[in-house]
Structure 1
Amino acid sequence: SRTVNETLAVKYVNEVRDDFALRGRCESYRVDLKSMASANQLHQGTNLTGHRVYAPYSHFQKLLTIRNLPPDEELLDVLEFFTDNSDPQLFMDRHALRRSEFRKLAQPLIRSGHLVQDYRGGFRTVHPTIATDHWQFKQDYLIELIKEIPVITMKQCEKMAGKPYMPEEIMTVLQHLVDEGEFIKGFLLEDLNQVCWGRKDMLESASNIEKMRDFVLPPSDPLAPYFAKLLRERFGFGSAYLVFFDEEPIAAFKANTRENIIDVTDLVSDPKLEKEALRVIKEFAWEHQMPLRGKIIEKIKRR
């Protein structure tokens, strides 16, 4: 899932939350996310799982269509203004608002997907995509979201799809894929006593897949919701950086990344693989060209 550089990665991934997520999707990283957002005219808004992400304007139109929720009637004048204008200062001057007052108006619209921030720092009203069949539109989006995943459970699918999708809707889509012969259903994983859905072609060719490198999956990566249950049950974290060694998750850690430093505040790992986990974390910090700090890291080094 890694592209050659960040230019291709931005086009390959529908949504990008931060530099960590973008860096993990490309082999070489030369330009940061804000620069890429400007170069590719990306907007920043709220995705279906409630996170702020960078994506093309057309993507946010799709998300608003899927949400299918009307905006707050009291804020329609805000949406009307940013349909033809983008400068928030002009809006504040016109209505004699302070910055904090403007934020109180804009934030609910950003959270609901009706407003996004453009690549120049302005705002833009999101107009939904015209869909003649709303359910078909939602179904197609979900299929596109999970099409590259070899095996997925119902819970994982719910986490990735977000709140606009009801469990029965997700089940309908999965059953549709089974009926079409694209997915198979059953107990597909040896160590998981749970019904899964998987792509038959991917499972049949699994032995031909090249071995995966050791890496750290940041909580901002699009695949993070897929590992949410594992992260919680094995490591006790709701959201954290997940460390993979020899194709298996062996550790998870919390970190502050302000001031361009990875300050590890908490780490849970397999005691037998602690050194390997530290090595992978060091490589992760080196990839991002950020110093690695933290009392826990120092303790492991001294052991």
Structure 2
Amino acid sequence: MPSFQDIIADPDPLDWWSAHRGASPVVGTAVHNGHHLRSDLEGLITLDSDERLREEDPFTEFFIRDLPNRIIFHRSRFEVDINRDRNDAIYFKPEQAWGLTVWKERLPDEAIASALRLHEAYYDMLETHLRGLERQYGAFVLLDVHSYNHRRDGADAPEMAIEVAPQINLGTFSMDRRRWAPVVEAFTEQLRAFQFRGLHMDVRENIAFHGRGEQTRFVHERFPRSGCAIAVEFKKVFMDEWTGEPDIEALEAMRKMVRLSLPVLEETLRALP
């Protein structure tokens, strides 16, 4: 069993992202895993570290650590949200940020411009990375890994109703669903076959979320015939969303489940016409 330190990514505070390239047409991303803020923003934000962490996606980097291709974003989504388009990538209003007032005052123009340059740089990098996979394999799958809260009314409040909160939600809104049906369905069945603590995983499509994020939209716009991007939302059953305390056994299981899906995705991709 790994220790807490084994599961925590500890990037340099100046790093934007980490990208790993390996021999596979499958790439995993964790764009909300990051927690760092630029130093010039620390005196301007209203939220403390714990409040930010509650809306970030900690440990999602750990889930994809066994994939040969993976991209992990190290900046907090409160600095710039990579999974939103430029107009919404900075949380200026509470309605953009779960009702939270994020900034004490209007951000300086240069702070805004700096965040948007980072947003642009990320997508330049992502397109280059994916073009390489396309050239080598003809087609690729991107697993856009996130997590979501299910006790929003408080630490002791009941969980969200199971009808609207699967353990794993697959978002497929922006894809050509008919073209990529063999990939999505094989992936779904592989995840459902995985057992954790004696139960099969509850995996459903477009229930809690629909996969309307910017990254999946970008992939399907730029790579309409070669790129299958699936938004994979894990309910935060692997941690306490209010304290940040991880369930290490659950984290290890989620990582194993993603690892076991890799040959299934590769085989399904090879079989596509």
Structures share fold, TM-score greater than 0.5: no
Per residue, is there more helix in 1 or in 2?
1
Q: Given the two structures, how large is their TM-score scaled by the length of structure 2?
A: 0.27
Larger radius of gyration: 1
Relative contact order (C-alpha < 8 Å, sep 6+): which is higher? 2
